[in-house]
Structures are given as structure tokens and as C-alpha cells.
Amino acid sequence: MSVLRELTLGRLLDETVEKYPDNEAVVYVDRDFRLTYREFGELVDTLAKGLMGLGVKKGEKVAVWANNVPYWVALQFATAKIGAILLTVNTHYQSHELKYLLEHSETENLFIIGEYRNHDYLRTTYELIPELKVQERGHLKTNKFPRLKRVFYLGHEKHRGMYSVPELQAMAAMVSDSRYKARQAELDPHDVVNMQYTSGTTGFPKGVQLTHYNIGNNGYWIGKNQEFRAGDRLALTVPLFHCFGCVLGVLACINHGVTMVILEDFVPVDVMLAIDQEKCTAVYGVPTMYIAMLDHPLFSKFDFSSLRTGIMAGSPCPVEVMKRVIDKMNMKEITICYGLTETSPVMSQTVIGDSMRQMTETVGKAMPEIEIKIVDPESGEECPPHVQGEVCCRGYNVMKGYYNNPKATEEAIDAEGWCHSGDLGDLDEDGYLTISGRLKDMIIRGGENVYPREIEEFLYTMDGILDVQVAGVPSAKFGEQVGAFVILKEGAELEPEDVTDFCRGKISNYKIPRFVTFVKEYPMTASGKIQKYKLRDLAAELWPDA
């Protein structure tokens, strides 16, 4: 009998509200914002009806460009309940990237906040969509983004051409309960409910389409492997726009009636204070986040005795860091996850009781109802235990496909339904997976995927650059940093700072080359192909303290 459930995310939430109406669902410690599951469900329904009242149809995309603000999670379910598709937007995006995403995704609706980390989202939005200042709300017509209909401000303030949250909530009165229920009755668990743009292994970012069935079930098993139960409290510190936040975090909690103690941003003292005050039983983070807390001068001032479990993911965990997390933070049941956005995202996870070796040298075993195999990249044949090859995955969690990109979808998912990860690894006799490298040129900086070609294409637009190759620079803190090897046009004179200055405000900070050097030529194969791995080796020599 299958352990998978055929549920929409809306129905999943309704079940949890029915079971645990008085349990806290969402908590923001810094502003004493608290909602029980009943109150959270009511907020979701109000926002959902408001969106319907403004004309949002089934299948429309609703892009959210915001950090972990209080309405974010409610929007995740409000869109799901009316059959709209939540499109998560990376908070680091600058104008160049937002323009690409809005064009490629054909988004009809956009939610934004005012600013984040010194980036004025309002100004960027008005620069991209100047029509907002002169056209009637809800009747937006822009040649640049012909599908875009509505822009919302994710707060209470009013801004020209945008709906505020109170105005959205007021529109709920226009939609009857019967009409709302009829819309929900039209939905299928295999409908796309979430789109995330990922810097995949080839080309520019692609829109990964995930269904209710994909991420609802993945969230269930992620929580189950941590032995989540009603009454647990998760300090949710990772970005909601990323699968780590909205699936590993939110959907694991909703599946098991867990309280989400959400932080808008990762600030070590704020996280430690939330764990202490709210008696959190779990916390999530990438290794650098745990290190930032453990090494903080105020660490000893906080009580971590309530902690039990959580997740560390995004990059390999050093053994000594894991030992400190277990000993100093009391996280004896912490788990490790691995996956891709294309696999909803988790394909493997350690479980409570695994050994220190399994928790630090592997990324666990395949989740229930998911298969993992290792294949020889050349022959396509399955590899025996302890032989390295490409990690492939098959199961309920494999995405529906890339948005408007059937060719890339065919390249990622083969005829037998196996999703090819682009990562290299091996399985042991017990089925534990070890990740050892990447088949492609991807850079992973602090858990963020960076595809070199995207940065190279952008830098080609800079005067004076003849050619550029981007490669990963090994980094103790981030895993990898971004390095650029530039060949200048004849007569051009540039400094490394000129290259980084050119990038600022146009591409995300984490994509901006941290290191730049000028070269005359690149290492090549006999057939003339650039050898990126040799550039990576050179980077390690040039910048040993990255």
C-alpha cells in the first residue's frame, strides 16, 4: 500500500486546522505576532477570497518577492487554495534578474515588499514597470510584461498602482463561500502549485514546476524523519523563497501540526533568542549558520536545552561542526538532507539513530517511495556500490517539468522517469548516498546555486571584456566563492574592482565575482574545449584564503 497521499495543499492545511485548531501555527518573536492554526486558516481563506475577488484565475502565477515577512506563508496556502501557482522570487535578485523572471514566467501577479538589505524593491519595480504610476489598478497594460495584470504591496502601506494587504483582504467580501468551495473542488493534487527558478546545470535559470502531490508528500516525509509531532516548535531561519524554507520548513510543519517560529532574516542573536524564549525543539540551517551561532560571543547566554532535532543541508557538514551542534546545542537527533529543486526537493535524508559517519560523510538514504541509483555518465549503466557516477532519482517527487522548456525537461528527466541531478556520488551496501562532486560547472556558494554561464553572458556586455570564464574558488566559509578569469580586448585597461562594480545593482550579490583576475588564455583540451576544472585548480592557488 502506498504511503503517499492524494491531497491538495489547501486540504492538507484544512486537516491540520481541524486537528489542532488551538495550537500555535505561526510565531514572530520580534513583534509578538502569533496565530493559532484556526486563526492562520482564517487568514489564508481571507487572502484567497481576496485574490479571487480581484479576478485571479486558476493557473495564474503569483510571484512573491519578499523575505520571510508574516504574510508570506499565508500567501503560500491562499494561492494553493484557489489553484494559482506561487512563484517564489529570490530576495537577492536585482533588476536584470527580476526582468528575466517576469518575462520568462509570464507572471500575471506580483507581490513585493519595500526594501531588503539596502535594495529598494519599490524603486526597482517602478523602473521596470513605469506604467504602475499612471494606470488604473487591476488594469495594467505594459508592453514589456504583457501578461502582468496586478501588483501588490505585501504590507499595509499604499503605493501607486498597487493593492495593499488590507485592500486585498477587503475584496474577500466579494466572493461567497459557495464560489470559494467550487473553485477548490476544481483542483487536482497533480496540478502545479509552485514554481521556483533555479540556476540549473545548463543555461539560464529555468522555472521548475512542482505539484501539490510533489511537495505535500515530500514535506510529510521530511517531518516524519525528524519524528515531528504536534507540539514541536521549529525555528525557521532559512529563506521561504527557497525549498529549504517553503517545503522542508513550512510543509513539514503543516503536515505534522508543528509551530513555525519564523525569523525574517538569519541574525545569530535573533535565532538564539527565539530558540530560548519559544523553547524550540528544532532549528534549520546551512553549516555556516550553525557555525555563526556556535562561534558567537553571546552563545553561552542562551538556553538550547529544548532543542532535539532539525536539519542541516546546503553543503557538506564538517565532522567537528556536527559534534559541536550535537553537544553544545543539544541536537542529538539532527538530520541531513540532500536533493534538488527539481526533486521537490529532498531525495535522501538521514534518520534519527544514524551514526556520526553517516551524518557527516553521507546524505542519508532514499526517502520512502523514492528510488536513487548511480549511473555511469558515459555508458548510462548503473554503477555497483562504492563506484562513483551521476546521482539519479525517480519517484513521486520528480518535478512536472521546466516551464515552457520541453527540451530542457527531456534532458533532465529520461524516458524511464529518472531525474538526472548533474551531481556525482556513490551508494554503499546499505543504500547511504555520498556526494563527491559535480558533473557540470555549477558553483554552490553557501547553499545558493550559481551557474557560471549566466554570469559570463552578463559580463560579456561590459566594455573592454573580450572573453570571460567563471569558476568556483574553494572557500572554507562558503564552500565555494565565484571567481572570474577575464581576457581583455586589445588596448582595454580594467581593474578587478571595475568588474565587480559593473555587476552591482544588476545581478545578485552572491553571483558577483568575489575574485577577478586577468589572463591571456585559458587551459584547453586538444579539441579546443576550455578545461574549467583547471581554472578551479588555478583559483585555489591564486586565492588560498577564500
Kindly indicate the confidence band of residue 531, based on its pLDDT and cuts at 50, 70 and 90.
confident
Residue 51: is its pLDDT beyond 80? yes
Residue by residue, DSSP assigns 222-278 as HHHHTT--BTBEEEE-S-TTSHIIIIIIIIHHHHHT-EEEE-SS--HHHHHHHHHHH
pLDDT tens-place string over residues 126-162: 999 999 999 999 899 999 999 999 999 999 999 999 9
Assess if residue 164 is contained within a domain: no
Assess if residue 222 is contained within a domain: no
Mean pLDDT, the chain, integer: 93
Instruction: Please tell me whether residue 401 adopts helix, strand or coil conformation.
Output: strand
Euclidean distance between the first and final Cα of the chain, in Å?
Answer: 51
Assess if residue 247 is contained within a domain: no
**Count of structural domains within the chain:** 1
Domain that holds residue 493: 443-542
- Residue 259 · residue 283 · CB < 8 Å: no
Kindly indicate the confidence band of residue 205, based on its pLDDT and cuts at 50, 70 and 90.
confident
Q: What is the pLDDT of residue 2?
A: 63
pLDDT tens-place string over residues 283-297: 999 888 998 999 999
Assess if residue 479 is contained within a domain: yes
Assess if residue 459 is contained within a domain: yes
Q: What is the pLDDT of residue 424?
A: 87
- Residue 522 · residue 469 · CB < 8 Å: yes
- Residue 319 · residue 291 · CB < 8 Å: no
pLDDT tens-place string over residues 237-287: 999 999 999 999 999 999 999 999 999 999 999 999 999 999 999 999 988
Residue 344: is its pLDDT beyond 60? yes
Kindly indicate the confidence band of residue 201, based on its pLDDT and cuts at 50, 70 and 90.
very low
User: Which region, left, alpha or beta, applies to residue 276 given φ > 0 means left and ψ of -120 to 50 means alpha?
Assistant: alpha
How many Å apart are CA 275 and CA 425, to the nearest integer? 35
The percent of residues above 90 in pLDDT, for the chain, comes to 82
Residue reference for cell 501588483: 151
Assess if residue 500 is contained within a domain: yes
Assess if residue 422 is contained within a domain: no
Assess if residue 511 is contained within a domain: yes
Residue 544: is its pLDDT beyond 60? yes
How many Å apart are CA 350 and CA 359, to the nearest integer? 7
Residue 527: is its pLDDT beyond 50? no
How many Å apart are CA 455 and CA 378, to the nearest integer? 28
- Residue 269 · residue 371 · CB < 8 Å: no
pLDDT tens-place string over residues 426-468: 999 999 999 877 777 778 888 888 878 789 889 988 999 988 9
Residue 523: CATH number of its domain = 3.30.300.30
CB-based contacts of 86: which residues, under 8 Å, 6+ apart? 62, 64, 75, 76, 79, 80, 193, 194, 195
- Residue 165 · residue 43 · CB < 8 Å: no
CA-nearest of 114, 105, 69 to 87 is 105
pLDDT tens-place string over residues 483-510: 999 999 889 999 999 999 999 999 999 9
Residue 228: is its pLDDT beyond 90? yes
Which helix (H) or strand (E) is 168 found in, with range? helix 165-170
CB-based contacts of 74: which residues, under 8 Å, 6+ apart? 40, 43, 44, 47
How many Å apart are CA 407 and CA 412, to the nearest integer? 9
